[in-house]
Amino acid sequence: MKKSSFKEYLIFFAAVFVLSLPIFLAFYYQHHPDRTVTELESTVASIPLGISAAEADAFFGTQPDSVSQMNGVLANPTMMLDASNQSAAKQGSIQSYSLRTWKQNNVHATVAIDESGKVAGRWTWVE
């Protein structure tokens, strides 16, 4: 059995470091909070669950930019699974929701209204 030299170990670890660095940097810059929270994100975070759609609209001060219908399951107040998702049925019963979405620059805020007309979930995303 050949004994490895220090030089071989050094080359190996240098290669691992050089190959790992771009992956680490890509992950860091994708998940690093290098931007400030927008007013739209703050607004949607402050909306309590269980209020009416009209009360939610009042938080924004305007009507939504778009309203759509979606069948799905709210896994929690900030995550909805579409009815076509195989995991949806495991999370609960599929319901119909009205999704009211506001847009401000590249930030979108969505409020999910259940069949009783109450806020069941809310979330934001950035394009």
Task: Tell me, yes or no, whether 44 lies in a domain.
Answer: yes
- 91-118 pLDDT tens trace: 888 999 999 999 999 999 999 999 999 9
Provide the H-helix boundaries in the chain: 6-31, 39-45, 53-60, 88-91
Asked if residue 31 belongs to a domain, the reply is no
Domain membership of residue 97 (yes or no) is yes
Please name every residue paired with 101 in a beta bridge, in sequence order, or none if there are none: 66, 110
Q: Evaluate whether residue 21 is within a structural domain.
A: no
To the nearest 5 percent, what fractions of the chain are helix, strand and coil?
Answer: 35, 35, 30
Domain total of the chain: 1
pLDDT tens for 33-91 read 667 889 999 999 999 999 999 999 999 999 999 999 999 999 999 999 999 988 888 88
89 falls within a domain: yes
Let me know if residue 112 belongs to a domain: yes
Is residue 110 in a domain? yes
94 inside domain: yes
